[in-house]
Amino acid sequence: MADVHQASGSTGADFDLSQFYQIFFEEAGENLDQMEQMLLNLNLETADDEELNGIFRCAHSIKGGAATFGFSDVAELTHQMESLLDKLRRHELKPTSAMVDVLLESADASRALLACHQSGTAGQGPATGDLVQRIRSFVAGEVPSATLPVAPVAAVVKTLSVPEPVTAKPVDVPVPALAGGRQLVIRLTKLERPEQADGVAELFRDIPGLGDIKPVVAPDSAADERVYDVRTTSSNEELLDLFAFHVAREQVIIQEVAPVASEATPYGFFDGAPGAPQPTTAQAAVIAPAPAPAPEPEATKHPAARSSNAVTTQPEAATIRVAISKVDQLINLVGELVITQAMLAQNSRLLDSAVHQQLLTGLSDLDRNTRDLQESVMSIRMIPMSIVFSRFPRMLRDLAGKLGKKVDFVTQGEATELDKGLVEKITDPLTHLVRNSCDHGIELPADRVRAGKSETGTITLSAAHQGGSIVIEVRDDGKGMSRQKILDKARERGMDVSDQLSDAEVWQLIFAPGFSTAEVVTDVSGRGVGMDVVKRNIYALNGTVDIESAEGYGMRVSVRLPLTLAIMDGMSVGVGNEVYILPLSSVVESFQVRSDAVSTVGQDSRLVKVRDEFMPVIELEKIFQVPRFDSQKTSDMMVVIEADGSRVVLLVDELLGQQQVVVKNLETNYRKVPNVSGATILGDGKVALILDTGALVRRSRH
């Protein structure tokens, strides 16, 4: 920004700063996001200089850019924030919860002011005089007026990032109470000399700030092993680098201490989960086998050389800003290339391999390169789920403060990647689910203590790949849902329900429009708007949502989504001269039947018995009015599909095979067609419709 300012001064009014606006707005947004995250993670009791300096740098960067471009309102507010943060980092003031509150509110106001400047509506942003006055009071060492809005003391939200679950061997270890940092169990195995372990222990006493280490006794430890309980803020990789001076990396096993679920808990989906009911016996330390170390290059095998050169030889990650429209255009062109390659492959099947060997070899290489290019381009749109997860700590902090609750927010699988288009569409449904967990699930601290729980509840948000899908879970250790209460509310609303419904069917009732079990309507919940929108939005993304609940223990909501909406795996089926595509994730099985195996019931409804279960039969020929030129031909192939938790059977002429297809939006290019979710272009240039399996299943119910 300094270079821009100098250039402006040297060229006078002829230099147009507006060409840099977009870059500034993007960088300011990133700095505000980073500042908010650091403020939420700030430990008021043990805040170190690096944390406070990092927050200060964010405010300073925004102030400098805003002043350069003439956004005086933003510059003034961030200048006041900078003054308070400067006092904190110089240890002239001690950070308090009220200071964090005012800094977060100021960050929100700065974001709103920047949005006004970006949209050309400067002057319409929020008033900041009150915020400026409160910050000045803190800087002067005064306490702002008690009438000013301050989050209740009961609001506690801690954000924890939990590593992926590992198969571990529990070992009872007496764990001493150590203050500060992460708690680890470190096992040194196969030691040839006891002094090796002594050298590791000395590291913690010699290096200030590394942490505390205490020897513990593990019942199954061998004579050539040593086990330690450690509190440290250093990463596992940093510890391994330090230990390498005394012990080989493969001799070190590091595992974070995690609470083990009570054996008495009868609900499997809480076993080992953060927030599960705690055991009453002494906590168990978990020690997992260390992964086999990767072979190191010759230049890095010596510990001293590695530790001294690690920083200087590590290259910085390079990124480039590219407009989303350009990425979308690139993906569209790759999709067209895939279609063209499929056409060439189909037309080349009739060629004589002996005569056209070189051409066929080139087409085979083209096929391989096209698939590699397709995967590489698709990965450009994939972004980590941490982008979504980072929105919730602030929301939970404010909501817990309003409700007077204490909440730990745990995240798992933040590095799991999802298509950017899906990330934007899944944010709102996840927001509803997390808010519901805090409002309806987590109890008040006093209620939790009476129920034998810790007064702080836990909400866990996790993401993981499963096959060609991503599964996102929202889990809490609150009071769960009451089956009887939901059934009573459903009867009050005139819904046809029975006591014989399974738990899974009862939980699905909460997705009905207007359904709510809240006793009082508040500005947070109670109007029955939210869960029906969640289900509708997830189904629109070809996803599913399932609920598991245990009254008194908590609940889990699982959302399953495809990794991308641009390219999908499909099964091609033929009906007459038409070709239709079924999403492969919805296909259960296929089989051939005799005509007498299909029974007709009611008003021309048809059923087929599949392993003692009757399923509705849907004839695609009738639904899409496919012309039949061969009157002797009959549909005798059946494909079982599953959606919305139900199964139906599609009657088709033949199965053409499995293939990847490029999804084209039919509504954008033509119009919305019932029972169709999109279209694709086949290798011979024909258009094939992609069927909406959810709509077909719902059709069978009516």
Q: Which residue has the higher pLDDT, 351 or 199?
A: 351
Domain-located, residue 591: yes
- Mean pLDDT, range 572-597, rounded to an integer: 84
User: Do residues 249 and 233 touch, judged by C-beta distance below 8 A?
Assistant: no
In angstroms, the CA 204 to CA 207 distance is 6
Query: Of 170, 349, 388, which is closest to residue 272 (Cα–Cα)?
Result: 170
In angstroms, the CA 581 to CA 386 distance is 33
Q: What CATH number is given to the structural domain containing 237?
A: 3.30.70.1110
User: Do residues 39 and 104 touch, judged by C-beta distance below 8 A?
Assistant: yes
User: Do residues 649 and 636 touch, judged by C-beta distance below 8 A?
Assistant: no
pLDDT in tens, 391-415: 888 888 888 888 889 898 888 888 8
Q: Is 627 exposed, middle or buried (0-12, 13-18, 19+ CB in 10 A)?
A: exposed
Instruction: Work out the pLDDT band at 474, boundaries 50, 70, 90.
Output: very high
Q: What CATH number is given to the structural domain containing 573?
A: 2.40.50.180
Per the prediction, the chain carries an average pLDDT of 75
Instruction: Work out the pLDDT band at 620, boundaries 50, 70, 90.
Output: confident
Instruction: Work out the pLDDT band at 519, boundaries 50, 70, 90.
Output: low
> Which of the listed residues 102, 124, 139 is the one where a domain comes to its end?
139
Please give the pLDDT value at position 167: 36
Shared-domain flag, residues 213 and 276: yes
In angstroms, the CA 420 to CA 564 distance is 8
Please give the pLDDT value at position 118: 83
Q: E-strand spans in 141-284?
A: 156-162, 169-171, 182-188, 212-216, 226-232, 252-256
DSSP letters of 25-60?
HHHHHHHHHHHHHHHHT--TTT--HHHHHHHHHHHH
Shared-domain flag, residues 6 and 130: yes
pLDDT in tens, 208-229: 667 778 777 776 677 777 888 8
For residue 445, pLDDT over 70 is answered with yes
User: Do residues 546 and 433 touch, judged by C-beta distance below 8 A?
Assistant: no
Question: Which amino acid belongs to residue 469?
Answer: S
When mean pLDDT is compared over 383-397, 603-617, 619-633, the highest value belongs to: 383-397
Domain-located, residue 145: no
Shared-domain flag, residues 175 and 124: no
> Which of the listed residues 244, 259, 287 is the one where a domain comes to its end?
287
Q: Residue 180 carries which DSSP code?
A: S
Q: Which domain holds residue 20?
A: 2-139
Shared-domain flag, residues 222 and 274: yes
> Which of the listed residues 93, 124, 139 is the one where a domain comes to its end?
139
- The side-by-side arrangement of strands in the sheet containing 544-550 is 156-162, 406-412, 457-466, 469-476, 554-562, 544-550
Shared-domain flag, residues 105 and 234: no
For residue 13, pLDDT over 70 is answered with no
Instruction: Work out the pLDDT band at 33, boundaries 50, 70, 90.
Output: confident
As for how many domains the chain has, the answer is: 3
Question: If DSSP codes are grouped into helix, strand and coil, which group holds residue 622?
Answer: helix
- Mean pLDDT, range 338-350, rounded to an integer: 82
pLDDT in tens, 544-563: 888 888 888 889 998 888 77
Domain-located, residue 593: yes
For residue 202, pLDDT over 80 is answered with no
For residue 259, pLDDT over 50 is answered with no
Question: If DSSP codes are grouped into helix, strand and coil, which group holds residue 324?
Answer: helix
Q: E-strand spans in 385-479?
A: 406-412, 417-419, 457-466, 469-476
In angstroms, the CA 543 to CA 546 distance is 10
Q: Which of 252-261, 342-351, 391-400 has the lowest mean pLDDT?
A: 252-261
Domain-located, residue 574: yes
For residue 172, pLDDT over 70 is answered with no
Domain-located, residue 444: no
Instruction: Work out the pLDDT band at 157, boundaries 50, 70, 90.
Output: low
Instruction: Work out the pLDDT band at 258, boundaries 50, 70, 90.
Output: low
In angstroms, the CA 672 to CA 664 distance is 12
In angstroms, the CA 417 to CA 383 distance is 5
For residue 15, pLDDT over 70 is answered with no
For residue 668, pLDDT over 80 is answered with no
Q: What CATH number is given to the structural domain containing 102?
A: 1.20.120.160
Domain-located, residue 484: no
Those residues with Cβ within 8 angstroms of residue 295's Cβ, 6 or more apart along the chain or in another chain: none
pTM of the complete model: 0.56
Shared-domain flag, residues 12 and 117: yes
Domain-located, residue 653: yes
- Max Cα–Cα distance, the chain, nearest Å: 92
Instruction: Work out the pLDDT band at 498, boundaries 50, 70, 90.
Output: confident
Beta bridge partners of 580: 573, 689
Q: Which of 20-29, 186-195, 233-242, 330-339 has the lowest mean pLDDT?
A: 186-195
For residue 645, pLDDT over 50 is answered with yes
Shared-domain flag, residues 196 and 100: no
User: Do residues 136 and 386 touch, judged by C-beta distance below 8 A?
Assistant: no
Please give the pLDDT value at position 525: 53
Q: Residue 105 carries which DSSP code?
A: H
Instruction: Work out the pLDDT band at 632, boundaries 50, 70, 90.
Output: low
Q: Which residue has the higher pLDDT, 646 or 146?
A: 646
User: Using a CB cutoff of 8 Å and minimum separation of 24, what contacts does 114-117 make?
Assistant: 114/25, 114/28, 114/29, 114/71, 114/74, 117/25, 117/71, 117/74
Shared-domain flag, residues 126 and 182: no
Domain-located, residue 558: no
Shared-domain flag, residues 175 and 131: no
Q: Which residues are identified as catalytic? A: 60, 82, 436
In angstroms, the CA 379 to CA 696 distance is 32
Ranges of H-type helices in 419-526: 420-436, 445-450, 483-492, 503-508
For residue 471, pLDDT over 50 is answered with yes
Instruction: Work out the pLDDT band at 4, boundaries 50, 70, 90.
Output: very low
Question: If DSSP codes are grouped into helix, strand and coil, which group holds residue 603?
Answer: coil
Shared-domain flag, residues 6 and 133: yes
Please give the pLDDT value at position 586: 82
Q: Which residue has the higher pLDDT, 605 or 348?
A: 348
User: Do residues 562 and 327 touch, judged by C-beta distance below 8 A?
Assistant: no
For residue 505, pLDDT over 70 is answered with yes
Instruction: Work out the pLDDT band at 702, boundaries 50, 70, 90.
Output: low
In angstroms, the CA 345 to CA 366 distance is 9
pLDDT in tens, 90-122: 888 888 888 888 898 888 888 888 888 888 777
Please give the pLDDT value at position 631: 66
When mean pLDDT is compared over 169-173, 288-292, 525-529, the highest value belongs to: 525-529
Instruction: Work out the pLDDT band at 45, boundaries 50, 70, 90.
Output: confident
DSSP letters of 578-601?
EEEEEEGGGEEEEEE--GGGEEEE
User: Do residues 655 and 578 touch, judged by C-beta distance below 8 A?
Assistant: no
Shared-domain flag, residues 232 and 184: yes
- Mean pLDDT, range 324-332, rounded to an integer: 82
Q: E-strand spans in 191-293?
A: 212-216, 226-232, 252-256, 285-287
- Mean pLDDT, range 476-494, rounded to an integer: 86
Q: Which residue has the higher pLDDT, 639 or 294?
A: 639
Token look-up 């700063």 returns 17
In angstroms, the CA 545 to CA 395 distance is 23
User: Do residues 413 and 385 touch, judged by C-beta distance below 8 A?
Assistant: yes
Shared-domain flag, residues 114 and 190: no
Portion of the chain with pLDDT greater than 90, in percent: 2
For residue 315, pLDDT over 50 is answered with no
- Mean pLDDT, range 188-195, rounded to an integer: 74
